Structure 1
Amino acid sequence: MFNKPRGSSSQNPENRDAWSFVSAPDLHPMKVTINVDKPGTAPGLIFVAAYTFFSAEMIGQTGALIMDQKGNPVWFRPLPSRYIQNTDFRTQMYRGKPVLTMWQGTISGTQSENPNLPYGDPEPGAFFLILDQNYKTIKTVAAQKGYTSDLHEFTITSRNTALFIAVKKVPADLRSYGGLKNGYINNYSIQEIDLVTGKLIFFWNVLDHVNPADSMLPASSAKESNNIWDCYHVNSVEEGPNNTLLINMRNMWAIYNIDKETGRILWQLGGKQSDFTLGPSADFSWQHIARYRGLNRISLFDNACCASPDSPPEGQARGLILQLNFKRMTAEVDRTYYHDPPLFVPSQGNVQELPNGNQFIGWGQEPYLSEYRNAGNTMYDPTLNFIYDMRFPGENLSYRAFKNEWTGLPLYPPDAAVIINGKCADVYASWNGSTETAGWQVLAGPSHDELTVLVNSTPRTGFETKVTVYSAGPYFQVKALNAKGKVIGVSKVVMC
């Protein structure tokens, strides 16, 4: 379930809130604002995939974006249209090596004021991508059995298989649920595919196991989405112990534990049929991305909002960690993570545990991401342990946000551009995706084959480094240097 913001539909990639680079003129990622940056944050780079809804202005280009903690772009993969998006952009391991993974397609609600599918559904033709450290696509994966690859989750397992969510509409008489006779149910499946053979090795159909009557979203809502009732809205799946899966269903207000072998639901947390009694403040609603934290704790992003754009929120959005007692079948609050100032988040969002114990939160439809010390905070003291906060421009958003360590080793060369200023030249150098570039060397000369070093080493400054040299060239070249001063990349020779 996604809820659309209000505004006017437009895109301006060269907006002052988007980056422009002399050496990389086709790249216009969004600029961000750092609101909080205190000591104690975990190392790593920030992974987002900016887009916005049809009714809002898209600032910069859509696409997968890696930034450093200061908000400088490190790698950006722009998409050809604002009506195409990436989601769930992050690092994973495949066959023992780090890779980048993401979903790509069109999200319903981004291409039309009146979409043909429920808001947040993937349009047909969507797929998943796996990229190696050289930023080359090494695998493309799509759902099977007539389902569309869903934007919420794509996980590479320790067995080098792909576990993901898929969706399709199925005809249904909704009158017994309070809807129309000739309606549809948005049915979800959990699929697992062997990444070598492409064979489907696991399939679980939600409609066969979960009663639509338990949905918190009324069947009458289907009238607003071509008679399609999004009664479940599955938005995360994770492997658990003993061949089980942890599955989150936003519109059920519930998290399910299922047995992969039998398909049987072993227990349900939250919702109308909860097997657990929820303690004070432990209830949640419209939630995202349920994750195990050991055997007895579960984290989730508690949206506490909203059945429709006009519905009031149940409360503030928060990161939430619950402590489960399987003997008493109770769930109690273990940690909470609130934003300062308070946020009311109609859709999307995630909570990620970082290696040092910190918690990293993407605020979904609200244009923020934040980092907290593990102990968390409360609604009444939101600044406690709140150590990092970034804001996107305008109504740009990212379905999820992650912080990961990553080494990018592009095989394509660095980029160089030159602007002559009298007897001097401003040389611009960049290398999209290189995490190992620490400095630049600048060369110039009277011909392509007669270049001499003008600047032996100057530190890299952000995505693009500007170096002013006393030379008219007219031929110039830059070389990327690593932290030890070794040349790791050479640009083409450019003539001004």
Structure 2
Amino acid sequence: MVPSSRRVRWLVPVVLVMVLAADRGGSEVSRPPVKALPTSGEWAGSVSVYPLPGTLTASPQTEVSFRGVSGGRHGKVSVVGEKSGKHKGRIALHRDGRGFSFVPERSFRPGEEVRVRTGLALRGAEDGDYAFTVARPFHLPDPNVPEQPPAMGPGLASKFHDFVTRPDLRPPKVTVARPAGSTAGNGHIFHTPKNRASWADQEGPVIVDEHGEAVWFRPLDGARAADFKVDRYRGEKVLLWWQGHVRHSYGEDRLVILNDRYETVARVKSRGYADIDGHEVRLTPNGTALFFVKNPVLWDVPGDGMGQRPVKDEVIQEVDVATGRVLFEWHSLGNIGVLETYAAAPGSGEPWDWLHANSIELAPDGDVVISGRHTSAVYKIDRETGRVVWRLGGKRSDFTMGPGTTFSYQHDARIRPDGSITILDNANGVPNPQGTDVSRGIVLKLDREPAATATLAREYSHPADDLSVAEANMQTLPNGNLFIGWGHVPGYTEYTQDGEVVYDVRLPDGIESYRSYRFDWHGHPTTKPAIALRPADGDRTRVYASWNGATEVTRWQVMAGPSPQQLRPIASAPKRGFETRITVSTNADHIAVRALDTNGDPLRTSPTRKRP
């Protein structure tokens, strides 16, 4: 039996919150920018909780995550839905010992308010008691995606490689317009080429060397990849990319993590949502993954006059890679106004893509910086409150934008160690005071004292003065150079800090990559090298050798003999691109190839083939 005083304390807040929820519904709430986390009042607690207090668009399948408390001290947690009633669930301790999640046994109901009651000092709560509202999801019909991707026609096929040893691999050809000079950075190039007009059957993550030669390729059999990069997981270098279908709320979209042997380390999915958005995937030193979810919901936009309409809620989740537990979650609706957008609402029944967030950056103080393409603005988000700390650009910039600093429909906002910010300015939207139709990478200096001002420090225009209407990214390399993938304009370019072009590459017309990067990478595949034999004139044989993903091979050695157990070296040649051809004269019945490293030491030998 609960004491009467305790019952009164519980009932009164419930009534008050239900009244507020009825007034709030699914509409926008105006929140002023937060310049610093309050040290007193309702946000002065020591424990953060997600969904954040006051969230208006939580998933019906959400779990409730508490951070800043050891798992053994969680105490009693009560979770009650306004319509669904009291929820049973289990406590899942977080792997790092700094929190726990309440995982309900069943879903919440769309549109209902959920009250969470604890004995913890929750930020944004009153005596450990807070509420969030469940979204009214908007469901689209499943898209018409063919079970099998279309085969390449002759015109498209000519833009892709055709290897003798690996006919199953067809990465696109690239053209080096300007070879890498002595001041260019080191490393391989990482991109995800795709056919702009239709889905080809050879799309996936590709590594190429600076000569444009393929190093590693993994075709995805109808799915697409994006944001392919080198990251670190548990202290080791790994490959990371998004894989799925480019459409919200459809498919088995996920993050894929591979080690240097090209073995799958993990596949990460969102928690409570159908898929992961491919614009940004990244790992943190804490073994977590950060990504966006585009969550279509019904929402009442003030002044719109349309009532509740389908709108995309941009969600950020931070998920523990090993366990899948959510450690952080943020929702754009309720924190950024929809009417900050420059994108017109669609006339069809499609959800309004008003923000189109496309990059996530962790600030040195732990807050989150995101780029909103359709608001032409960059936002710093307070991690503990979810509110906007500052806006850069757009309709409500907190910074005075100096000459040449205004950007539009941008991508890839990154904070540098000196506090400056790099942005890929696509320059194909509003505002555009320069009246330019040339995309560029820019470096902005942000001064906050005595007044918040943005100053143009550097700009790096497309070498052919092209306009990239979508996609693209800007990477600062370890040597200080800037590496820009031009997205919709096929290719990538490297600049010195002073703006000199030191490397420039073009993809085939119509083949683009959302982002392109340069990273140092050493791959050690567990597979054997591939070999193919073709007859030449007389006793001569053309030997073809390749090894998908091997970065340490500098030379190929041809082995021949009367049996697979009696092979000896008969020729060798430097490695040339993905596939090396060596012509040999031999009457031996069996031939194999052996990969050698820069010291001439053997790495691995291919299977043996009979001479044709």
The interval holding the TM-score normalised by the smaller chain is 0.7 to 0.9
In the alignment, what sits opposite 1:79? 220
Verify: 1:444 aligned to 2:566, yes or no: no
What is the aligned-residue RMSD (CA, Å)? 2.0
2:299 to 166, 172, 186: 172
Structure 1 range deviating more: 428-437 or 264-273 = 264-273
In the alignment, what sits opposite 1:240? 363
* TM-score (normalizing by structure 1): 0.88
Verify: 1:184 aligned to 2:323, yes or no: no
In the alignment, what sits opposite 2:168? 26
Q: Would you say the 8 A contact 2:561–2:588 is kept in 1? A: yes
- What is the distance in 2 between the residues matched to 1:452 and 1:10? 42
Q: Are the structure 2 counterparts of residues 319 and 10 from structure 1 closer, same or farther at C-alpha, using a change threshold of 3 Å? A: farther
In the alignment, what sits opposite 1:381? none
- What is the distance in 2 between the residues matched to 1:10 and 1:171? 39
How far did 1:472 drift? Answer: 3.8
How many residue pairs align between the two structures? Answer: 455
Verify: 1:196 aligned to 2:311, yes or no: no
- What is the distance in 2 between the residues matched to 1:389 and 1:122? 37
**Structural mapping, 1:151-170, within 5 Å:** 151-170=278-297
**Structural mapping, 1:20-419, within 5 Å:** 20-37=162-179, 38-53=181-196, 55=197, 58=200, 61-81=202-222, 84-108=223-247, 121=248, 123-173=250-300, 176-177=303-304, 180-181=306-307, 183-219=309-345, 222-224=346-348, 226-306=349-429, 315-327=437-449, 328-376=451-499, 385-419=500-534
- What is the distance in 1 between the residues matched to 2:344 and 2:151? 33
Q: Are the structure 2 counterparts of residues 460 and 353 from structure 1 closer, same or farther at C-alpha, using a change threshold of 3 Å? A: same
How far did 1:241 drift? Answer: 1.8
Q: Would you say the 8 A contact 1:296–1:325 is kept in 2? A: no
What one-letter code is carried by the residue in structure 2 that aligns with 1:364? Answer: G
What one-letter code is carried by the residue in structure 2 that aligns with 1:212? Answer: V
How far did 1:301 drift? Answer: 0.4
Verify: 1:467 aligned to 2:467, yes or no: no
Q: Which 5+ residue runs of structure 1 have no aligned equivalent?
A: 1-8, 109-120, 308-312, 377-384
- What is the distance in 1 between the residues matched to 2:357 and 2:249? 13
What one-letter code is carried by the residue in structure 2 that aligns with 1:205? Answer: H
Verify: 1:432 aligned to 2:548, yes or no: yes
- What is the distance in 1 between the residues matched to 2:384 and 2:309? 32
1:334-388 alpha-carbon deviations (Å, 9 max, x no partner): 1000122111111100000001110000001110200000122xxxxxxxx1121
Structure 1 range deviating more: 206-215 or 442-451 = 442-451
- What is the distance in 2 between the residues matched to 1:107 and 1:12? 23
Q: Would you say the 8 A contact 1:57–1:395 is kept in 2? A: no
In the alignment, what sits opposite 1:4? none
What one-letter code is carried by the residue in structure 2 that aligns with 1:70? Answer: H
What one-letter code is carried by the residue in structure 1 that aligns with 2:568? Answer: T
In the alignment, what sits opposite 2:66? none
Percent identity at matched positions? Answer: 37
How far did 1:176 drift? Answer: 3.1
1:112-167 alpha-carbon deviations (Å, 9 max, x no partner): xxxxxxxxx57432111000000011100011122520101111111121111111
* Higher strand proportion (structure 1 or 2): 1
Verify: 1:476 aligned to 2:598, yes or no: no
In the alignment, what sits opposite 1:5? none
- What is the distance in 2 between the residues matched to 1:472 and 1:364? 51
Q: Would you say the 8 A contact 1:238–1:247 is kept in 2? A: yes
SS in 1 for 2:218: strand
- What is the distance in 1 between the residues matched to 2:416 and 2:347? 39
- What is the distance in 2 between the residues matched to 1:217 and 1:239? 26
SS in 2 for 1:435: coil
How far did 1:88 drift? Answer: 0.3
- What is the distance in 1 between the residues matched to 2:388 and 2:587? 72
* TM-score (normalizing by structure 2): 0.72
SS in 1 for 2:265: strand
- What is the distance in 2 between the residues matched to 1:454 and 1:63? 37
How far did 1:244 drift? Answer: 0.7
Larger Rg belongs to: 2
How far did 1:10 drift? Answer: 7.3
What one-letter code is carried by the residue in structure 2 that aligns with 1:236? Answer: S
- What is the distance in 2 between the residues matched to 1:294 and 1:233? 26
- What is the distance in 2 between the residues matched to 1:268 and 1:24? 50
Q: Are the structure 2 counterparts of residues 129 and 250 from structure 1 closer, same or farther at C-alpha, using a change threshold of 3 Å? A: same
Structure 1 range deviating more: 426-435 or 293-302 = 293-302
- What is the distance in 2 between the residues matched to 1:122 and 1:322? 35
Q: Which 5+ residue runs of structure 2 have no aligned equivalent?
A: 1-149
What one-letter code is carried by the residue in structure 1 that aligns with 2:513? Answer: S
How far did 1:490 drift? Answer: 1.1
What one-letter code is carried by the residue in structure 2 that aligns with 1:460? Answer: K
Q: Would you say the 8 A contact 2:250–2:274 is kept in 1? A: no
Q: Would you say the 8 A contact 1:420–1:472 is kept in 2? A: no
In the alignment, what sits opposite 2:606? 491
SS in 1 for 2:339: helix
In the alignment, what sits opposite 2:47? none
Structure of higher RCO (CA pairs closer than 8 Å, 6+ residues apart): 1
Q: Would you say the 8 A contact 1:107–1:122 is kept in 2? A: no
- What is the distance in 2 between the residues matched to 1:85 and 1:181? 36
How far did 1:305 drift? Answer: 1.2
